[in-house]
Amino acid sequence: MSKEIQKALKATGLDVLSCMQCGICTGSCPSGWNTGFNTRRIIRDAAKNRVTVLSDDNLWLCTTCYTCQERCPRGIPITDTILNLRRLAVREGLILPEHRKVAEMVMERGHAVPLDEETKKKREELGLEPIPETVQKCPEALEELKILLKICKFDELIAER
């Protein structure tokens, strides 16, 4: 995969080679202010085809606020690049356990965070239907969603390897 990172990014119209490592992205990143997340380093590793960028847990700390992308003096689509790196990582089976659990919940219940009994009760107290018009309310729709996700091979994508 290491040789493929640049190629895969370029195929989606993302070119990070013009990065001059000025660090404006890192300084602008609200996520990096409180964590070890360093946007400049992610872009550098992607530009250098370092496969470790895909297994770097920090890759998942971006909140996709797009501040870095708006400020990059070289006009590099940084956030889009991070999203694409995540896609590549998942295809390689590199997915955080927490994210796998959320994905499994979508497969099973149709929602990343299904409504629990307490929330349903609160909704009723507010005069709302306990469950809004979503797949959680409609078993047929949930079955259809499951079929669609299987056709897309979503289950294989998120399976532990």
Interacting residue with ligand SF4 among 9, 25, 54, 59 (CB under 6 A): 25
Q: Which single residue is written with the structure tokens 């927490």?
A: 98
Q: Are 160 and 105 in contact (CB under 8 A)?
A: no
Interacting residue with ligand SF4 among 11, 17, 23, 113 (CB under 6 A): 23
Is there binding between residue 78 and ligand SF4 (CB under 6 A)? yes
Interacting residue with ligand SF4 among 9, 46, 53, 72 (CB under 6 A): 72
Is there binding between residue 36 and ligand SF4 (CB under 6 A)? no
Is there binding between residue 59 and ligand SF4 (CB under 6 A)? no
Crossing angle between the packed helical segments 4-11 and 78-91, to the nearest 10 degrees = 120
Interacting residue with ligand SF4 among 2, 64, 119, 134 (CB under 6 A): 64
Q: Which residue type is seen at 110?
A: G
Is there binding between residue 6 and ligand SF4 (CB under 6 A)? no
CA separation for the pair 98, 100 (Å, rounded): 5
| Piece of 4-12, 73-81, 99-107, 142-150 that binds ligand SF4 (CB under 6 A) | 73-81
- Which parts of this chain interact with ligand SF4 (CB under 6 A)? 19-25, 28-31, 39-40, 43, 62-68, 72-74, 76, 78-79, 82
